[in-house]
Amino acid sequence: MANPEAEQLFAKGLRSIAEGSTLAALVNFERALQLEISPVYCSHLAFCIAKERGQVKKGITLCLEAIEKEPENSLHYLNLGKIQLIAGCKADAIETFRQGLSHEPNQQILDELFKLEPRNPPVISFLHRDNPLNKYLGKILKRLGLR
């Protein structure tokens, strides 16, 4: 049974994360979890704990518990991957993001993977990658399928 107050606190926490305030989100998620135990609340709380308090192991444990309860929910994989990035485990995070995408499509996971995607070296190596010549040559070669 869904607790309306817990849902409001959860929604407030999501808004706080979107605004970049994980500390405020942490407080809201903790209060929501006290009112109603939910894997989604637990997963988001895990990310906030890892980011704000630096308790990466506890965050990973909470996310894995959420994944155990709801293995098809890609949000849990998103949060676990973000925690792994906080811990400096980029390869593990990429693998976790890909696992999440295998369960259901998620634009946030795709955005994270895009950020982590390795960049090609500049077309003309002695020029900076921001040089317009490098930028446009790279775009042209990409469209032609040569890069």
List the pLDDT tens digit at each of the 147 positions of the chain.
478 899 999 999 999 999 999 999 999 999 999 999 999 999 999 999 999 999 999 999 999 999 999 999 999 999 999 999 999 999 999 999 999 999 999 999 999 999 998 888 899 999 998 999 999 999 999 899 888
Q: How far is Cα 141 from Cα 58, in angstroms, rounded to an integer?
A: 46
pTM (two decimals):
0.79
Q: How much is the pLDDT for 140?
A: 94
Q: How far is Cα 72 from Cα 103, in angstroms, rounded to an integer?
A: 5
Q: Does 62 lie in the same domain as 21?
A: yes
Q: Does 80 lie in the same domain as 142?
A: no
Q: Does 110 lie in the same domain as 66?
A: yes
Q: Does 51 lie in the same domain as 25?
A: yes
- What count of other Cβ atoms lies within 10 Å of the Cβ of residue 69? 15
Q: Does 145 lie in the same domain as 99?
A: no
Number of domains within the chain: 2
Q: 67 and 36 in contact (C-beta within 8 Å)?
A: no
Q: Which amino acid is at 123?
A: V
Q: How much is the pLDDT for 118?
A: 80
Provide the domain limits for residue 146.
119-147
Q: How much is the pLDDT for 104?
A: 92
Q: Does 72 lie in the same domain as 144?
A: no
Q: How much is the pLDDT for 3?
A: 84
CATH number, residue 49: 1.25.40.10
Q: How far is Cα 42 from Cα 76, in angstroms, rounded to an integer?
A: 9
